[in-house]
């Protein structure tokens, strides 16, 4: 399934939070309690929109995926693991509705993110993923990211990934 990412607006906040909550509930059903069960809020979503670029993808007017791109390094990422770059962008908060998973929707979002990063003249996409069964490490590998390190942050085992542009 091909998607087009567009910037989220304040009108998208409730649906964005509902999507993230559905993904968390799905992960909880599959893997039980864990780091991945954060509680998204409208206040948090609006904060994210003020401090980064939150993108959404729709299918038949329904929000089916989201991701955030930022030039600011997230607190859980340790920059020492990554290549030296002029303008790396950080991918965070990626979520694909449970019914759309394993159908190419996530991969299409990554392709769109690459297009956006290229337009920004970014030289890399960086991210972290949980190093657990609930983590998306294998997905990111299949999308062309390479593992550059592992760390533990606040008790959560993480894998750092990078894709050079």
Domain hosting 21: range is 5-164
Contact 25, 86 (CB under 8 A): no
Tally of domains in the chain: 1
pLDDT of 106: 94
pLDDT of 122: 94
Contact 96, 65 (CB under 8 A): yes
pLDDT band at 23 (very low <50, low <70, confident <90, very high): very high
37 has pLDDT over 90: no
CA 4 to chain centre: 15
Radius of gyration of the chain (CA): 15
Please state, in angstroms and rounded to a whole number, the distance separating the CA atoms of residues 30 and 110. Answer: 24
Q: Which of 137, 128, 115 is nearest to 156 (CA)?
A: 128
pLDDT of 156: 86
Q: What is the CATH number of the domain that holds 97?
A: 3.40.630.30
Name 155's bridge partners. none
């Amino acid at each position: 399934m091909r998607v087009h990412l567009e910037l989220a607006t304040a009108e998208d906040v409730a649906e964005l939070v509902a999507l993230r909550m559905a993904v968390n509930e799905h992960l909880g059903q599959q893997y039980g309690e864990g780091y991945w069960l954060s509680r998204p809020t409208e206040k948090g979503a609006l904060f994210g929109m003020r401090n980064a670029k939150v993108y959404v993808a729709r299918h038949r007017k329904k929000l089916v995926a989201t991701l955030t791109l930022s030039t600011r390094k997230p607190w859980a990422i340790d920059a020492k693991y990554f290549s030296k770059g002029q303008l790396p962008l950080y991918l965070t908060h990626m979520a694909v509705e449970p019914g759309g998973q394993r159908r190419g929707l996530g991969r299409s979002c990554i392709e769109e993110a690459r297009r956006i990063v290229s337009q920004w003249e970014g030289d890399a996409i960086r991210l972290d993923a949980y190093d657990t069964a609930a983590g998306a490490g294998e997905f990111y590998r299949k999308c062309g990211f390479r593992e550059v390190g592992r760390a533990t942050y606040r008790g959560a085992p993480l894998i750092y990934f990078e894709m050079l542009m």
